[in-house]
Every structure is written in C-alpha cells, then in structure tokens.
Amino acid sequence: MTFSTIAIVCSLLLQPPEKGPDLIRSIERQQGGRHWIDQPTEPAKSPEESQACFEIEPGYRIELIAAEPLITDPVAIDFDHLGRMFVVEYTDYPVGPKDPAAPPLSQIVLLEDTDKDGRMDKRTVYAPHLKFCHSLMAFRNGILACTETQILYLADTNGDNVADQREVWFDGFLPAHPQMQIGCPRWGFDNWIYLTYGHGKVACRRPGFESHEPVDIPRVDFRFHPETMQFEAISGAGQFGNTIDNFGHRFFSSNRNPIMTDVLSLELVQRNPLAGVPVGHTDVGPSGEKTQVFPTVTMKSNYLSHAGTHTSACGVTAYRGGLFGDESDRSIFVCEPVGDLVTRSVIESAGGTVTARRAREKADFLTSTDTWFRPASLATGPDGALYLADMYRLWVEHPKFVPDDVAAKMDWRAGEDRGRIWRISPETAPIVTGFVAPDTTADLVSLLQDGNGWRRMLGQRLIVEGHRTDAEAALRASLDNIRSSGFSRLHALWTLEGLGLLTPADLLVASQDLDATVRRDVAKLIRTHGATSPELQHVAAMLCRDTDGEVQLQALLSLDATGDEAKTAILQAVPSCLRDIWLQRALLISAPNLAAEIAEVVVEHSPDNADFLTRSEFLNRLALNVSTRGDMQQLHQVAELIGHSTEFGMWWQTALVAGIADGLPRCQNDAIPKSLAALLQSPPESLQDSLRATASVVQLAAEIAVDKKHADADRVAAMGLMSHLPPQALTTALEILLQPGESSECQKAAIDAARRTGRAELSEIVLNHWGQLKPQSRSAALDLLLLRKESITLLLQHMAAGIVPASVVSIDQRVLLLKHPDETIRAAAVELFGGTVSPNRKEVADQYARAIDMKGDVARGAAVYEKTCSKCHRIGGVGHNVGPDISDTRARARDALLYDILDPNRRVDPQFTEYIIVTTDGRLMNGLMIAESSESVTLRQPEGREQTILRTDIEDLKTTSKSLMPEGIERDVTVEQMADVLEFLKGR
C-alpha cells in the first residue's frame, strides 16, 4: 500500500464510519482502485475508440498495426532474422477450452505487412494447438515456444509459413497457474537461452540429446545452451516477464515485483554455504506495496489494497531500439494489465548491482481509460520501435484466486475474439519497413555496431548459430576499436566466446576498455578462462580496484584468493565494499580464507556513526566463517580483534563473538571445542591468551544482562551473548531473568538465549517458570517448548495436569502437534485437543453461515483477530506479513471472508504452501519456503521469523501442499466471535 493510500484510509477512519459502497467510493474519489466484484463494466471499444483513450509520455506516439479479426489474444511478440512478426495468441487463458476433449486453443501466428504501409494485413497460423503457450523466441530458422510443460522447437521446412517440424526439446516442467509456468525465452550475451520459472522434473528430449533421468529443478529460473543442450537451474523468481538489456543485465518480473535482476548465479550462491546468501536475485526497484502506478481509470483489482500499486506486473522489457532519446539505453518498461497502463523506469548503477527509478515521478509512460486494454508484453522491433501486445480482455485473473460463487458469475473469456498490437515510437521517427538480416559474415559483424540493440544481438546470434569462424579477425578488430561504441565491443567479446575463439590476449585487451560494462564481463570471463592463469589473475586483481561496483563484484568473484597479489587486492577493496551488501557477499563467497583480515579492515574503517547494522551482520558472518573453518590463526586474529576494547558495548564485539559462537557447532577442526562456553573454558593452548578478552566480554555481558541498574535495551543487547555462558552460569542467569519482576522484553530475550543454546534442560526451567512469565513472554516460551520432542512431551504433560492451559497453544501449533511424526505426541495431542478437525469444510462453513448476518462488535473482533490471526496477517499496523495480503477485507463480501477463514485450503497459491522440516537433532519447524539451495533451506514462520537450516541438518523435508493457515479455527472461535471478526474486518 502506498503512503497516499495509507493517508486516505487513515483520514477515512477519523471520519464518521462509512460502509460498503460508500467506503469504496470514498477511497476512489482520492485514488483509483475498487473491488471489481459485481461492479458494472463498460462495453468493449473499437480499435479506433480505444486509441483515443490513450495518454502517452510527451514526445511519443502510439499507432495501431494489427487488430481483430487479424489477431486475437496477443500476449507475446518476436521478430525473426527476416524481420517477420510472430505473435502468441493465448486463447487458452485462463481455463482452457470448455470441452476438455477439445484441442488446445493457443497458437502462434505470423503477421505480415504485404503493402508496406506500416500495418499488418496478412495472417498465417504458423503453429496451432499449443497447450497454454504464452511465449516464444525466434531461433535459427524457426521458433522456440513455451507451452504449459514443455519447450518446443517449431520450424517451417517447406516455405509455406506453417511449422511442419515440431520437436519437444524439454519437458517435465510443473506450472503453478497460467501466469506462472516455463516461459519467456531470451538469448543472453553469453549465448545461453534464459527462461523464467523452470520448476519441475525436467528432461531434455531433443533428438540426439535425450536425458536419461529427469533433473529436479526448484522454483527458480532456467537456462540451456542451444549447442550442447546443457541445462540448469539459475537464480531468479520470474513469472511472465524476462528481458536482457543493452548492458547484459537480465531482468524479470512477477505480479508484485515489477523489476528484479540476478546478481549472483546459483553456482556462486552455493560456492561458500557459510556466506549466508539466501538467493542470488533482488528487486532493483520498489516491490509490493512500495510500488506506485498512476492509472487514469479505476483499477479493478482483486485486492483493494493494491490500488495505486503494481498488482499484475508482467512483460518487463528492456528497450534496445536506440530511438527513444538519452535515457533509452537504460529504459525498462513494465506492463500492468489490471491498471490498464505501462510504466517506464530508468536503470542506474548501485554498488555491485543496479537500481531503478521512475522515469516520471507522478505519471506513467502509457495509460488508458479503456478498461479492456490489457498490455501483456512488449518487444523491440527491427525498426527500433516498441511493439505492445494488448490482449484486450475484460478480465485478467484466474478463477482459482476468486471465491467460487463470484467465479461462477464471471465471463472469463470475454474478449477472446479481440486483440490489438500497437507500435510506439518517437513522434518524429519515420516508419521503417522491410528489414532483412544480411547474409555475409562481414555484414553480420558490421551489424554488431548498429545503433539498434535488437539488430546487434541478432548479428551475434546469427554468427554464433552459423559457426562463422571466418569472423574471427573482424571481431578481434572490433574488440580493439575504441572509436566504436562500448556496446559493439561487448558483442564482439561474447561473439568470440560463443565461437570458442576467445583468448587470454583478447581478455587482456578488453580489460583496458574505457567502458565499464566490457571490463565487468572480462572479469566474469576470467572465471572460466583464467582461473589458473597468473596473467589473468593479475588482471582480476587490478579490476578489484575498479571504481565501478559491478566490475569490482565480478573481479572479486573471479580471484583465486590464495595468491599473495589476490589477498592484497581483496583487502584493499574492502573499504569500498562496506556500503553495499552484494559486494560484501562477494567478499564472503570469494575469500573465506581471509575472513579475519577482512574483519580487521571492517572495524578499522567503521566509525561510530557508521551504518553498523549491515556491517554488524557482515562481521557476524565473517566470524562464523572463521570458527566453522577452524583455522587456528584466523581464530586467534578475531579473538585479538575482540580484545581491542575492554569495554562491552562496541557493536563489532557483539557481532564477532556471536559469529564465532554460531560457527563452532559445525567447526571442521576437531581440536577446537564445539561451543563458545567450552572453548572459553578449555581453549587450545595457542588460543589461551587471545581468548581472555573474549571471555571477559562474555562475562561482562552476562553481568549486565541480570543487573536491573542497566536500561532494558542494554540488558537485551547483552543477552545476545548470554547463550554462550558456561552451562551453570547460564542456568543461574536464566532463573533470575524469568522472575515476575522482570520486564517482558527481558524475559523474552532470556528465553531466546535459551533457545539458541539447544540445551534441552533449559526448556524445563522455562516450563517450570510458566506462571511467572508475562503474557507477552509466553509466545517465546512456546516457540522454545515446541521445538523438540522431549520438551513437547513435558509441555503436554503439564497441560494434561492443568498446570499450563491448553488454550495457550494456537491453532497452527495445535495442528502441528496433531500431525507430529512421533506417535506418542500425536496421541497426547488428540487426547488434549480432541483429534483432527472436520475434513468437511463446507459443512463447517454452513454451520457458521449465520455469522454473516449477525451484528458483531469491532473491538471484540479486533481482540480475536490479534490472538488468532495476527501471527501471519497484518492489518492496521497489527500483525505480521507472512501469509497473503488481507488488507482489502473492507471491500470483500462477508460470505467470501467467512469461507476463506474456515476453508483456507480451498485455493492455495504455491508461494503460501506449508513446508515441514524435522532436523537431525529432533527439532520440528514449519513455515513458507522463501529460499532454497543445494546447501540450505529458508523458512518464513509465523510472526515473520526466518529460519535458515542447512540441508546437512535436515532429516526430513516435505510439503503438506496446504496453506500455512490451519483449518480448525472453529475450535477456538464461536459463531458469535466469528461475527465479531467479520465486523472488524469489514468495519475497522
């Protein structure tokens, strides 16, 4: 939700309460956006009428080049080497043909302008009956097409413009829904083909390259090499939207994340698991409620809270045509079909990656007052213009995300007989037609210098596809031609690489390039061409000192950090990395052997007013690397660094001590004790002197933690180290801190310290002090007690004896106990809680239906919400953003809310599917999987906690295929209380 939306809602709450349509209209008067259920719709407009509804950024024009009946349901466009336009018609969207036995409806068509007047006038169905086909790429003499579960190669071998060759190249992809499936193939600078959402058990089926066994691809993006057919998972979380810009960045989108990029490959993310890098991609612009769009017509979103923000971002496209002015090379366009608009952002450097800013502060690039206008994607054309696929549908939504009773009333296919394609260009640009790629190698090399990036990439692709090794001399000359554009030299570099002709000498030449993008990719290529070359390692060391953050990042990742020159270069680079998390991550990935030396530089270059939060996390991770690796000299250096100050409270001391402690349980040196308490009590001889200061810091922290003379904030900070006390000292401190005179903040911090130790006997101490705990502290206590089988058994025994009320266990915790893998725990839970909930959720909903018409109490409903729902949902500043956004509840029907509450598994978006993990030491955790790699899994749990678990510590990992929100709320909420909750959700 944007700031302006929040202000509007707040102002409304200060006024006499409005209800129903009046409230929605009040919001609409100040900002576009309303719930679209049962609202009247305007009739479809003719192409001419629709064109009159556009508002476009000054200096540009938009022209119709194709419309129904020539084209229907267009969602993706690409041009082949002959300049011909191919379009995907996504007629299957959203539910496929009405008759399940009917053939698929989606297809690829070829559109031609036979009279050269700038408008298409001929249509040929190139490939019919492609099941849920929504994206394509011109490739070789045909088309790569992505269907629901496959990547196909389609080719016309007899010249009739119809694909008579149809090969399955990959299959086994698992779609989530029609917007979230394998798709959007794009040729990368490195001559691999990149796609979004590669999830599945994937096998290569291309004749002559067949895979013997499918490969499990997690919910990330995908790439393959068109020559070798090697394929792999890659960093990214794209849905429908994937693009490569002129500088070689790959951007992708999802509905609430308009522009993301992959900074680190999965291989780099996984190179050093101790670096703690959860994913290699990031948002480069605002996402979710922080995005802003400025529609010129009311947004008909399924979520009222999404009004004024991106809710269906898709088709992200880097403009490459060279016609759009000074910012054109860095312009990124994103379609927002629900908002009937297209945004434009400008990419700018930001440390080791890039960031995006709005091109215009309070207006979008293209908006329409025609509510049927549904921009789906864009493409740069051979002429440099931007081509926009307008699906032109009444609705862009999937029935699975809409209540059944509402879905039954919707005409989901309204507009399937319509569709438009628009050309966008500068007002003064002439219409250019008839481009055909040249035939000769010399002319293709010349194409690399074209001002149009689409043509440059085409030239590179055709040279590489055609194995035109006779281009070698001309490419090398282009690489060394400082009078040409940096773009042409970048293409020359990667074209040589694609042909297998790139040499160390080429990289030496290009490393001196004036263009930072060329130097960046030299640093990247050293990883594959110069890992063992002293000459190229010297180049990487030089590039570590580059003033450009992206160059520096790639150079750090390409250095062999064991060499003396590399060590010097890395340490000299540290100060310039301290304000960028990606550069810090590059240091952690590339130089774990230098962690102690890097920590010394960080402390030296971090004044008291520094951004210590980010740097504290960095130091913590450096110290963790040191203690896990178990290098005595490195550990000695860190201990000496901690001793630089004998006064507790220096932020870097706490970070370093905690990092050492976190790494010791996995220490790879058997001579080093596996806990900080044990290490301080019995240090190896070589560490005895250096660890004295560390012991003093920990002891001083323990004294501050239990001393009420200190402020609570200082005591809580000190408790961050308390878990590393010797066992008896920690037990004594815990007994003191759980007394009733302590604040809830101190009690919670003490319980958290106990949880971090992993010592089972501390759970019993916490349980024995249950009656002395503040209400706010009991949630932390339950988190501790429900971690392990032994403490769960004790807790259930206390509940059975009436010492601890069973009602303190929340619904989600209760469900977890009822399906616990241990039979004894399950039986005790059934005895306490009465068994599993009714599987007939409709029957339960019918029993609660009278709550719909009952008059509830907002205040009582707020109390029930806070107790029952706020762990995973946030409304009005109360709660946590774990589950789906429910801030639009005022605009939703009471019956729809009731059914969603009572039957949360009726429809579950994949990103909100529950996972359960059992660790090797007996801990049980559940949550949403927000990141995974070959080394670890990260769960987001109720109350927004995030837990990263190493795969080596996981005994069992499975998904329930259900929502994290449990069924069974009827056990805790009466019909009358449900009426109160509905009143709160509707009338707050």
Phi, psi of 55 (to 5 degrees): -125, 120
User: So what's the pLDDT on residue 906?
Assistant: 66
d(CA 437, CA 79): 11
Q: Mention every residue, 6+ apart, whose C-beta is less than 8 A from residue 982.
A: 851, 852, 856, 861, 894, 897, 898
Decide: 397 and 95 in contact? Cβ < 8 Å: no
Kindly tell me if the per-residue pLDDT of 591 is higher than 90: yes
User: So what's the pLDDT on residue 22?
Assistant: 40
Picking from 213, 146, 157, the residue whose alpha carbon sits closest to that of residue 180 is: 146
Decide: 725 and 731 in contact? Cβ < 8 Å: no
d(CA 585, CA 272): 10
Decide: 730 and 765 in contact? Cβ < 8 Å: no
Q: What string of H, E and C letters represents the secondary structure of 547-563?
A: CCHHHHHHHHHHCCCCC
Most confident of 272-286, 305-319, 445-459, 777-791: 445-459
Two tokens, residue 812: 């989600």
Q: Which of 67-71, 333-337, 612-616, 937-941 has the lowest mean pLDDT?
A: 612-616
Two tokens, residue 772: 């002395």
User: How many CB atoms sit inside 10 A of residue 599's CB?
Assistant: 28
Q: Mention every residue, 6+ apart, whose C-beta is less than 8 A from residue 93.
A: 73, 75, 106, 132, 134, 178, 391, 393
Mean pLDDT of 911-940: 79
Q: Which CATH architecture has domain 438-502?
A: Alpha Horseshoe (1.25)
Decide: 794 and 764 in contact? Cβ < 8 Å: yes
d(CA 904, CA 964): 9
| pLDDT tens figures, 450-466 | 999 999 999 999 999 99
Decide: 339 and 293 in contact? Cβ < 8 Å: yes
d(CA 909, CA 901): 15
Using CA atoms, how far residue 314 sits from 310, 909, 947, in Å, is: 9, 18, 30
Kindly tell me if the per-residue pLDDT of 892 is higher than 70: no
Decide: 602 and 652 in contact? Cβ < 8 Å: yes
User: So what's the pLDDT on residue 449?
Assistant: 96
Two tokens, residue 401: 């995300």
Counting residues of the chain whose pLDDT is more than 70, the rounded percentage is: 91
Confidence of residue 643 (pLDDT cuts 50, 70, 90): confident
Picking from 412, 316, 423, 301, the residue whose alpha carbon sits closest to that of residue 73 is: 412
d(CA 390, CA 783): 50
Q: Which of 63-67, 347-351, 962-966 has the lowest mean pLDDT?
A: 962-966
| pLDDT tens figures, 76-88 | 999 999 999 999 9
Q: Which of 21-25, 684-688, 704-708 has the lowest mean pLDDT?
A: 21-25
User: So what's the pLDDT on residue 14?
Assistant: 33
Using CA atoms, how far residue 610 sits from 617, 629, 901, 985, in Å, is: 13, 29, 46, 43
Two tokens, residue 259: 């522009």
Mean pLDDT of 66-85: 98
User: So what's the pLDDT on residue 212?
Assistant: 82
Mean pLDDT of 294-303: 78
Name the H helices within 181-301.
266-271
| Residue that the structure tokens 């089926």 belong to | 205
Phi, psi of 714 (to 5 degrees): -70, -35
- Which has more confidence, 474 or 401? 474
User: So what's the pLDDT on residue 30?
Assistant: 33
Using CA atoms, how far residue 705 sits from 617, 652, 723, in Å, is: 22, 18, 11
The one-letter amino acid code at 532 reads: T
What letter would DSSP give residue 337? G
| Residue that the structure tokens 């690796």 belong to | 629
Picking from 789, 783, 738, the residue whose alpha carbon sits closest to that of residue 765 is: 738
Q: Which of 112-121, 606-615, 874-883 has the lowest mean pLDDT?
A: 606-615
- The CATH H-level (homologous superfamily) assignment of domain 34-426 is TolB, C-terminal domain (2.120.10.30)
Mean pLDDT of 166-192: 95
Decide: 372 and 415 in contact? Cβ < 8 Å: yes
User: So what's the pLDDT on residue 263?
Assistant: 98
User: So what's the pLDDT on residue 20?
Assistant: 34
| Residue that the structure tokens 């707020």 belong to | 862
User: So what's the pLDDT on residue 884?
Assistant: 74
Q: How far is CA 233 from the centre of its chain?
A: 15
User: So what's the pLDDT on residue 314?
Assistant: 97
The one-letter amino acid code at 29 reads: R
User: So what's the pLDDT on residue 403?
Assistant: 64
Q: Mention every residue, 6+ apart, whose C-beta is less than 8 A from residue 455.
A: 382, 435, 447
Name the H helices within 161-316.
266-271
The one-letter amino acid code at 808 reads: V
Two tokens, residue 511: 């490393």
Sign of CA dihedral 277, 281, 286, 291: negative
User: So what's the pLDDT on residue 321?
Assistant: 95
User: So what's the pLDDT on residue 19?
Assistant: 34
- 144 forms beta bridges with 137, 153
- Which has more confidence, 307 or 415? 415
- Which has more confidence, 294 or 532? 294
Decide: 320 and 453 in contact? Cβ < 8 Å: yes
- 341 forms beta bridges with 336, 367
d(CA 496, CA 142): 24
SS3 844: helix
Decide: 29 and 5 in contact? Cβ < 8 Å: no
Two tokens, residue 232: 């792999």
d(CA 87, CA 72): 10
Classify the phi-psi angles of 687: left when phi > 0, otherwise alpha if psi is within -120 to 50, otherwise beta: alpha
Two tokens, residue 669: 């040196």
SS3 61: strand
d(CA 226, CA 212): 18
User: How many CB atoms sit inside 10 A of residue 975's CB?
Assistant: 13
Counting residues of the chain whose pLDDT is more than 90, the rounded percentage is: 55
Using CA atoms, how far residue 558 sits from 276, 531, 570, 673, 716, in Å, is: 19, 7, 11, 34, 41
Two tokens, residue 93: 């969207």
pTM of the predicted structure, to 2 decimals? 0.85
What letter would DSSP give residue 375? E
Name the H helices within 397-452.
404-407, 441-447
Walk across the sheet containing 85-89 and list its strands: 74-79, 85-89, 107-112, 122-127
Confidence of residue 33 (pLDDT cuts 50, 70, 90): very low
User: So what's the pLDDT on residue 254?
Assistant: 94
| Average pLDDT score, the chain | 87
CA angle 141, 145, 151 (to 5 degrees): 110
Q: Which CATH class is domain 841-987?
A: mainly beta
- 111 forms beta bridges with 85, 123
d(CA 239, CA 836): 36
Classify the phi-psi angles of 295: left when phi > 0, otherwise alpha if psi is within -120 to 50, otherwise beta: beta
Q: Which of 168-172, 300-304, 875-879, 981-985 has the lowest mean pLDDT?
A: 300-304
Confidence of residue 15 (pLDDT cuts 50, 70, 90): very low
- Which has more confidence, 293 or 20? 293
| pLDDT tens figures, 700-758 | 888 888 999 988 888 888 888 888 777 888 888 889 999 988 898 999 989 988 888 77
| pLDDT tens figures, 743-778 | 989 999 899 888 887 788 888 999 999 888 888 888
d(CA 715, CA 658): 16
> Buried (b) or exposed (e) across 756-770, using 16+ Cβ within 10 A?
bbebeebbebbbebb
d(CA 598, CA 586): 12
Mean pLDDT of 613-617: 78
Confidence of residue 650 (pLDDT cuts 50, 70, 90): low
d(CA 91, CA 97): 9
User: So what's the pLDDT on residue 92?
Assistant: 95
Strands (E), 381-486: 386-390, 420-426
User: So what's the pLDDT on residue 647?
Assistant: 54
User: So what's the pLDDT on residue 23?
Assistant: 32
SS3 711: coil
- Which has more confidence, 37 or 767? 767
Query: Parallel, antiparallel, or unpaired: how do β-strands 300-301 and 34-35 relate?
Result: parallel
The one-letter amino acid code at 410 reads: M
Confidence of residue 6 (pLDDT cuts 50, 70, 90): very low
| pLDDT tens figures, 128-147 | 999 999 999 999 999 999 99
| pLDDT tens figures, 321-376 | 999 887 888 999 999 999 999 999 999 999 999 999 999 999 999 999 999 999 99
- Which has more confidence, 74 or 412? 74
Decide: 924 and 917 in contact? Cβ < 8 Å: yes
Kindly tell me if the per-residue pLDDT of 954 is higher than 70: yes
Phi, psi of 594 (to 5 degrees): -110, 20
User: So what's the pLDDT on residue 939?
Assistant: 84
Mean pLDDT of 937-941: 84
